[in-house]
Amino acid sequence: MVDIFAMEVARKIKDMKVTTDSDLLSELRKTTEISMPQLNNLLLRLEILGLINVSWMDKDRRRIEYREPTAEQVQEETQ
């Protein structure tokens, strides 16, 4: 189950299109208190749901991009 905060983060990533984990963390910290381990957990859940794609840019940075839902995912949600 995805909570409201996770969906807000997914919307923020959608608005940013492509970002890094550190940029996303600093953006989220403007409005809420969140740590890097909490963000990691949230990113993992969103990636499992297929809402985002996370890949390593280098040793310390990850690239986060929003993925448009496929027709199959939309169909599953409406059922």
CATH code assigned at 30:
1.10.10.10
pTM: 0.79
Burial of residue 42, with CB atoms counted within 10 A of its CB: 0-12 exposed, 13-18 middle, 19 or more buried:
buried
C-alpha 23/C-alpha 66 separation (Å) is 15
C-alpha 39/C-alpha 28 separation (Å) is 9
C-alpha 20/C-alpha 74 separation (Å) is 27
- Structural domain including 15 reads 4-78
In percent, how much of the chain has pLDDT > 70?
A: 85
Contact 13, 64 (CB under 8 A): yes
- Report the pLDDT averaged over residues 38-61: 92
- Report the pLDDT averaged over residues 37-58: 93
Domain tally, the chain: 1
Residue 12, pLDDT score: 92
